[in-house]
Amino acid sequence: MIEPKKRAIQRIKLEPAQQLQLENVQRRKFLRGGLTVGAMAMLTGCNLQDGDQVDKVLWAMSRWNDRVQAWLFSGQKLAPTFTKAQMTTPFPFNAFYGQDDIPEVDLPNYSLAVSGLVRDKAPWTLEGLRKLPKRTDITRLICVEGWSAIGQWGGVPLKTFLEHIGADTTAKFVGFKCADRYYSSLDMPTALHPQTLLALDFCEVALPPEYGYPLRVRVPTKLGFKNPKHIVEIFVSNDNPGGYWEDQGYNWFSGI
């Protein structure tokens, strides 16, 4: 098998240097072919959930992107606001389940729990929240999928609420637990952004079930999935609380 091949090469009579160059080229071509076609075929399975080497690199890059985004984030820069005429109607429903599975919240007995690095851990009622200063913005919600919709949310700035409960605002994270199995968290600078709201109203009426009644977090500077609905607990922590989607592989910071 090898002999005739050798003879064929000798018949062309390459200079030793040329021979070496040819072999190098062939090796490089082979390696490149392996890198592109073969490797891509194997890599297409890498999806952040198998725990293989490529997944580890992708997760590490995602953590690096968290840091870059935290650095890019400006606590003063406001999200553009829109007019009522520009609002998206009907506003799309979106959750990790269908509209039939919206959690039922017992409104008369609802209370918001507070825990973690805060001075006052007493739970809050909706009436109590409504007595706090309010802010209303018409902003664009951008989904991680790419679509966006403009809506109006009103409620208590999260910063105001954190001040009321005596939160340690030097802590790193604010976490949220929801009445469905959802959970999410924010970096403290975003939690203190003036447009980050504990939203009680949508389009000037109390939040309807499909938009996260009775309380949702509205963060115009984050992708949609970082705007958890049906909030039942808020906590302040120095350990990253992660999130429902974040823990599966959506970028944690997901700032926009």
The residues of the shown chain that bind another protein, judged by CB under 8 A, are 21, 24-25, 28-29, 32, 35-36, 40, 43-49, 57-59, 61-62, 65, 69, 72-74, 77, 79-80, 140, 142-148, 220-221, 245, 248-251, 255-256
Of 44, 25, 49, 21, the closest CA to residue 250 belongs to: 49
Query: Sign of the CA dihedral 167, 169, 171, 175?
Result: positive
Asked if residues 207 and 199 have their Cβ atoms less than 8 Å apart, the reply is yes
Closest CB to another protein among residues 39, 205: 39
Closest CB to another protein among residues 25, 122: 25
Where do we find the tokens 């999260």?
Answer: 158
Token representation of residue 51:
């725990």
For the purposes of burial, counting CB atoms within 10 Å of the CB of 104, is it exposed (0-12), middle (13-18) or buried (19 or more)?
exposed
Alpha-carbon span 186 to 161, nearest angstrom? 15
Closest CB to another protein among residues 164, 218: 218
Q: How far is the CB of 180 from another protein (least distance, A)?
A: 19
Alpha-carbon span 76 to 131, nearest angstrom? 26
> Dmax over Cα atoms in the chain, in whole Å?
94
Closest CB to another protein among residues 21, 99: 21
Q: How far is the CB of 242 from another protein (least distance, A)?
A: 13
DSSP-based three-state secondary structure for 228: coil
Q: How far is the CB of 235 from another protein (least distance, A)?
A: 25
Closest CB to another protein among residues 70, 107: 70
Q: How far is the CB of 205 from another protein (least distance, A)?
A: 26
Q: How far is the CB of 81 from another protein (least distance, A)?
A: 11
Q: How far is the CB of 111 from another protein (least distance, A)?
A: 33
Closest CB to another protein among residues 74, 170: 74
Q: How far is the CB of 79 from another protein (least distance, A)?
A: 5
Name, in order, each residue with C-beta under 8 angstroms of 223's C-beta and a sequence gap of 6 or more.
142, 143, 144, 250, 254, 255, 256
Instruction: Give the pairing of strands 113-116 and 231-237.
Output: parallel
Closest CB to another protein among residues 202, 252: 252
Cis (ω within 30 of 0) for the bond into 194? Answer: no
Report residue 101: phi and psi, to 5°. -105, 15
